[in-house]
Amino acid sequence: MSKRRNKEAAENTLEGSETFPESGISAAGISEPGSEATELTDTLPEDIDVATARLDYTIPNNSRRRLSGAVYIFCGIVFGVVWLILRGDGSPLVNAGFLACSIALLLLGAHHIWTGVDLLVDDKEALVRASDAVGFSVGHASAQLGWRGWLSQPTWKVLLYSNEPQPAKRALVRLDGVSGAVVDMLEEDNPEDWAEFLEKPEHSENTGQSENTGHSENTGQSE
C-alpha cells in the first residue's frame, strides 16, 4: 500500500512540475527527451581535431617564444616599479615578494627571448635531409619537433623505415632546426613485425563437403 502511495505522489510531482524550454530540464530535475540538454556532445578544438585537419598544416615557428618573453619582461618591470614606489610606505600588500617576482619574471623573459630563434628548417626539409643521411631507401617516415639543451635549441627527430612491405631497416635521425645539420643518428635492423598491417591475399577456403545428389537409383528388379 505504501509503495502505491509513493508512486502516486511521484506521478503528481512530475505532472505539476514546470519545464524550462531553454535547458530542456523540468523543475523536478529530469531532462525532457529530444531537448538540447540530452543532445550536448563534447567536441575537440579545430586546431587539434584530426577529422578537420588541413593537409597544408604548418608547425608553428619557434620564434613565437619571443612574444611570451616580452610579456614576462613587461610584468617583471611592473612588479619592480611597484616595489620601488611603495616599499618605504610600510604597506602590508607590497613586500620583498614583489622584488623576487620581478627578478624571476625578468630572467624567465630573457630566457624566452634568447631561445626564441627562428625555425629555418621545416618538417619537409627535415625529412629530405634525414633521408639523405641514412644508408637505405626510405619508405615510411615521420618528423617531430623537440628541443635540446638549456638554450632549448629546436631539433627535428625523424623516424624512418626502409622501403619494403616488411621494412628491414629503421633509423632515428636528429637534425638541428636552424642549420639542418645532423646532430646524431641511430640505424638498426627493424625488430618490428608488420605482418598484421600487410594485405593478406584472398584465398578460397573449401569448408564444405561435396555431395553427389544427382545420382540415379535403380529401383527396379530384373525379372
pTM greater than 0.85: no
Whether residue 180 lies inside any domain: the answer is: yes
Query: How far apart are the two ends of the chain, measured CA to CA in Å?
Result: 89
Q: State which H helix or E strand residue 107 sits in.
A: helix 96-115
Instruction: Indicate if 154 and 192 belong to the same structural domain.
Output: yes
- HSE-CB at 104 with a 13 A cutoff on CA atoms is 6
Q: Please list, in sequence order, all residues whose beta carbon lies within 8 angstroms of the beta carbon of residue 142, skipping any fewer than 6 positions away.
A: 158, 159
Quote the pLDDT of residue 151.
86
Same domain, 151 and 173: yes
Mean pLDDT of 126-141: 91
How many domains are there within the chain? Answer: 3
For residue 19, tell me if it sits in a domain. Answer: yes
Separation of CA 164 from chain center? 29
Q: Is residue 155 part of a domain?
A: yes
pLDDT for res 210:
42
Q: Please report, for the domain that includes residue 128, its CATH number.
A: 3.10.450.40
Segment among 13-27, 119-133, 187-201 with least mean pLDDT:
13-27
My answer on whether 133 and 157 are in the same domain is yes
Domain containing residue 26: 8-38
- The residue assigned the cell 625523424 is 158
- Give the model's confidence band at 221: pLDDT under 50 very low, under 70 low, under 90 confident, else very high: very low
Are 31 and 84 part of one and the same domain?
A: no
Q: Please choose, from the candidates 115, 162, 167, 171, the residue with its C-alpha nearest in 3D space to the C-alpha of residue 143.
A: 171
Determine the pLDDT at residue 47: 61
The residue from 115, 137, 159 where one domain ends is: 115
DSSP summary character for residue 40: -
Which tens digits make up the pLDDT trace of 150-162?
A: 888 999 999 999 9
| pLDDT at residue 215, as a whole number | 42
Q: Is residue 168 part of a domain?
A: yes
Domain co-membership, 135 together with 179: yes
* pLDDT for 18: 45
Residue 69 lies in a domain: yes
The answer as to whether 213 is a domain residue is: no
Residues 74, 106: Cα–Cα separation, whole Å: 8
What number of other Cβ atoms are within 10 A of residue 30's Cβ? Answer: 13
Residues 134 and 174 grouped into a single domain: yes
* Per-residue pLDDT at 196: 78
